[in-house]
Every structure is written in structure tokens, then in C-alpha cells.
């Protein structure tokens, strides 16, 4: 395993440890134990705990974005199938999402990671347009409506962390999409 792959493995174990213990209650020594390395070895990869947190956020956001966009943009898959996969993805990553909530609610770490989070949001914001261009949504769906509903589903699942609520929200989104309630402005204004 090369240095970058090893670093990513360490970061994944750090994310899990932060999720379980909290960022502020997780010393470097505990991170080293979780990664099964000695404390001094951590400093060969990272300057300090702040850099570890920022790199953890970067890795988490990259991996989450990649998986989320893959689910959203699958051509030929019915929306229902993609939503089921979205629920599975959310369940798989819900423990790690606690870490992101800690970062977002921390005055220090939210500032340190704001650029990473902004970039993640920017990429998510472009996903409905890609989905519309590929025919993933009904042709008369308004992009901003899909975006708003999708982001609210993602955010509320991360904050609340209840799978059944996620499924209800996705079923509601699906109902709106296929029953003409999330259509372009002309259709909505004429109704």
C-alpha cells in the first residue's frame, strides 16, 4: 500500500473514531490507537489535529459525493431504484455523518472546512442539471425543485439520522415528480 492509500485508510479510521467519541473528546493518542499506529507516526502524515480534521472532511466529502452522484446519475435506472440505492447509501454512511455534523456545528472547524463544504455543495447543486440532461427525471421537472427537495432529504437525514424518515421523504419526492407537482413554472402557474 502506497503512502496516499495508507493515509486514506488512517483518515477513514479517524472519521469513525471522531464519530464515536466527538472531535473535541478525541486526542491524537486515541486516533493513533484506532489506526493501529503509534502516536509519533501520525505526525509523519499530519501536522496536527486540525489538519487531520480538515483532511477527514475532505475525504468524507469526496467519497460521499462520488457515491451520491453515481446513484443520482445512473442512466437507465428507474427513479425508484435510484432512491432505494440512495437510502442504502445513506444507511451505510450514517455513522460517519455524525462526524460531519460535529464539524458543521463547531465554530473553529466549520470555518476551517468551509471551502471544502462549499465545493461539495456546488457539485451537488450541479447534479440535478446532469440528471435532467440525461433523462433521469421527467422532462418537465424543474431543476430547482428537484435540487431543493434532494438537498433537504440529504441534510435532514444527516441531522436526524432516521432511515424511515429518509424513506418517507424520498417517497414524497418521487410522488411529486411523477404526479406533476414539481413541474416547470408554466405548468404550475396554469394549475
Q: What is the pLDDT of residues 13-36, one digit of tens each?
A: 999 999 999 999 999 999 999 999
Mean pLDDT of the chain: 76
More confident residue, 190 or 143: 143
Contact by Cβ (8 Å): 128, 143:
yes
pLDDT computed for residue 133 by the predictor: 56
pLDDT computed for residue 189 by the predictor: 40
CATH code of the domain in which 164 resides: 1.10.357.10
Residue 120: band (very low, low, confident or very high) from pLDDT cuts 50, 70, 90? confident
The three cell numbers locating residue 168: 418517507
pLDDT computed for residue 183 by the predictor: 43
The residues pairing with 141 across neighbouring beta strands, listed in sequence order, are 183
What's the sign of the alpha-carbon dihedral 107, 66, 62, 1? positive
Contact by Cβ (8 Å): 73, 134:
yes
pLDDT(116) > 50: yes
The 10s digit of each residue's pLDDT in 68-112 is 777 766 667 776 777 777 777 777 777 777 888 888 888 899 899
Residue-wise DSSP of 48-64: SHHHHHHHHHHHHHHHH
Rounded CA Rg of the chain? 19
What's the sign of the alpha-carbon dihedral 178, 180, 186, 189? negative
Please compute the mean of the pLDDT values over residues 134-141 and round it to a whole number.
Answer: 51
More confident residue, 167 or 85: 85
pLDDT computed for residue 43 by the predictor: 96
pLDDT computed for residue 172 by the predictor: 66
The residue range of the domain holding 54 is 3-190
More confident residue, 110 or 118: 110
Among the ranges 71-85, 122-136, 147-161, which has the highest mean pLDDT value?
Answer: 71-85
Q: How far apart (Å, rounded) are the C-alpha atoms in residues 124 and 73?
A: 12
- What pTM was estimated for this model as a whole? 0.70
More confident residue, 72 or 52: 52
CA 63 vs CA 3, 24, 102, 138, 153: distances in Å: 18, 24, 18, 28, 18
Q: How far apart (Å, rounded) are the C-alpha atoms in residues 55 and 45?
A: 11
pLDDT computed for residue 9 by the predictor: 97
Structural domains of the chain, count: 1
Q: How far apart (Å, rounded) are the C-alpha atoms in residues 41 and 100?
A: 25
Contact by Cβ (8 Å): 54, 60:
no
Q: How far apart (Å, rounded) are the C-alpha atoms in residues 134 and 27?
A: 46
pLDDT computed for residue 104 by the predictor: 82
Residue 185: band (very low, low, confident or very high) from pLDDT cuts 50, 70, 90? very low
Contact by Cβ (8 Å): 158, 100:
yes
Amino acid at each position: 500500500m502506497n503512502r496516499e492509500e495508507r493515509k486514506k485508510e488512517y483518515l477513514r479510521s479517524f472519521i469513525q473514531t471522531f464519530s464515536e467519541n466527538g472531535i473535541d473528546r478525541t486526542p491524537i493518542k486515541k486516533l493513533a490507537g484506532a489506526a493501529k499506529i503509534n502516536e509519533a507516526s501520525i505526525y509523519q502524515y499530519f501536522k496536527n489535529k486540525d489538519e487531520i480534521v480538515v483532511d477527514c472532511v475532505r475525504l468524507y466529502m469526496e467519497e460521499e459525493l462520488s457515491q451520491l452522484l453515481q446513484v443520482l446519475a445512473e442512466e437507465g435506472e428507474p427513479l425508484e431504484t435510484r432512491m432505494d440505492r440512495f437510502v442504502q447509501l445513506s444507511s451505510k454512511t450514517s455513522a460517519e455523518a455524525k462526524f460531519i455534523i460535529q464539524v458543521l456545528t463547531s465554530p473553529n472547524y466549520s470555518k476551517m472546512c468551509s471551502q471544502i463544504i462549499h465545493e461539495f455543495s456546488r457539485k451537488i447543486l450541479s447534479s440535478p442539471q446532469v440528471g435532467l440532461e440525461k433523462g433521469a427525471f421527467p422532462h418537465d421537472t424543474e431543476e430547482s425543485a428537484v435540487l431543493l427537495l434532494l438537498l433537504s432529504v440529504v441534510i435532514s437525514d444527516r441531522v436526524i439520522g432516521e432511515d424511515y424518515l429518509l424513506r418517507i421523504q424520498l417517497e414524497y419526492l418521487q410522488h411529486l415528480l411523477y404526479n406533476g407537482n414539481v413541474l416547470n413554472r408554466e405548468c404550475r402557474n396554469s394549475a
